[in-house]
Structure formats: structure tokens, C-alpha cells
Structure 1
Amino acid sequence: MDELDRNILGLLGADARMSVATLARRLKVARSTIQARLERLETGGIIAGYTLKLGEAAREGRLRASVLLTIEPRAQAGILSRLKAIPEVERVHSTSGRFDLLLQVAATNTTVLDGVLDQIGALTGVKSSESLIHLSTRIDRAV
């Protein structure tokens, strides 16, 4: 990736709906150059897709939590397959350090969230869990 690729990604990160023509105009290059770069970034796996980023107004009414799991050795595959069946589990990251997995969970209310946390903690192979309820987003640079 060169500077032009990074600039394209930066502009699309701010507005994924930006047209090829607008990208070309802002970056002062030909439309065909932008189109070729986008195709290369897509086929190379740099751009995995174009999506919508919800604002705070859309996230109102949803409780979010990070759940830190310590799991039994060799239990990860089974736990991951069971986590996929829980719709409130949005993301799962493997980690280094004290915890093995970091989950991002979202629920409509505290009762649902409590049930989901109990369900996760009861999974076979989970040794311990720790939950952190998100109160507000102070910085969000996710692309």
C-alpha cells in the first residue's frame, strides 16, 4: 500500500458512499486510477466490504458489554461454535495475556444482557468471565 491507497481508505473510512468521481476529484487523480486501486484493494483483501456505521442515536436502547473469558486448553473451537449461536454476541477476538477471548455483546435491556452473560459463563470450557458494561463512547476511530 502506498500513500494514494491510504488516502483512498481514509476518505472511504469517513464516507463509504463516496463515489469514484468524488474520490478522484479530491485526490486529484483520474477516475480510472481510483477504480483500478479500489479493485486491487478489494481483491487483495484490504477492503473487505463497504458498510454503514451507526451513530449514537441508532445505538440508544442497546446495552453493550465487553466480556473477557478465560477458557480451558483446547476448548476454543467448541466455545466459538456455541458463541456463534448467541445473536447478542457481535464480535469475538482472541487475545494475549490473562484472558483468552474478548467478546463484544449487545442487548436490548439488562434482563437480556444478564441472561446472555449467564449463558456465556455456563458454556463448557469457560473457566472464568469478567464483564465490563459500556456506559458511553468517548472516542470512536473505528473504520
Structure 2
Amino acid sequence: MNGTLNHTAHATRHATARAHLHLVPTPTAAELEDLVARPASAASAAPLRLTRRGRLVVVVLFLGALLAGGVLFGSTSTRASGEAGPARTYEYLVVQPGDTLWGIAKQVAPNDDPRATIEAIRRLNALSDGGVQAGQRIALP
């Protein structure tokens, strides 16, 4: 009798520990054949629906792409009328043997900081950090 009580107590504890489990009926052979024969696209034919947050994300990504495209591919001119501005004319200098950017900057703008003038020359002529070479023609700011 003592063994029967222990078995009953164990079965009760076991049943309460698995109360979250439910029996699911096994599909019949006809139901399995129908699932196999049905194309996968038919099961997922529901239309895509965006939540409010999803629409906001799509709009923000679209606007970010437009902004990035404008920054990367936009023109440097921001004239509202669309007219071309006055053509800029630059003075040009042919670099002589022994010339350096520092010396050219001091010659072009003797009263200004040579570092700022060198940077302006580099940007204007798309120069690398390597400097200039004799015979090279550069535009001056």
C-alpha cells in the first residue's frame, strides 16, 4: 500500500509539472498529401502590411537616401535661378625647379599664414600631400 501512495503522489506531481503540454491530433494521410502538394507560395499569399513604425522607418530611409544622393552627386553651385555664375579666372604658375608649396604660398600671399594658402592651393588643384614637381602648372587662389 505504501508503494501505491508513492506512485500516486509521483503521478500527480508529474501531471502538474507538464500542465502546459497539450495533445495535438496527428494529421491523416490525405491531409499530409494535401500539405505536400500545395505550393509554398499559396501558404504565404497574405499581403505585406506595414505598421506605423514600419512606415516611419521606410520614409526615414528614403529621405536619408535622397539626402546622401544629393550630398554625393549634387553640384557645388546652389543658385536658385539655375543660371551659371560668373566664370572664375585664376592665375596660373608653372613650378620651377626648387619651388615648394611653402615658397609659392609666401610668394602668392606674403601677409597670410602660408599653411592656409598651401591648403587652398592643394584643394584648388586636387594635389596630394606629395607637393609639386618642376614643370607642373598650378592654379593659384
TM-score w.r.t. structure 2 length? 0.26
- Which structure is higher in strand share? 1
TM-score w.r.t. structure 1 length? 0.25
- Which structure is higher in helix share? 2
Q: Higher relative contact order at CA 8 Å, sep ≥6: structure 1 or structure 2?
A: 1
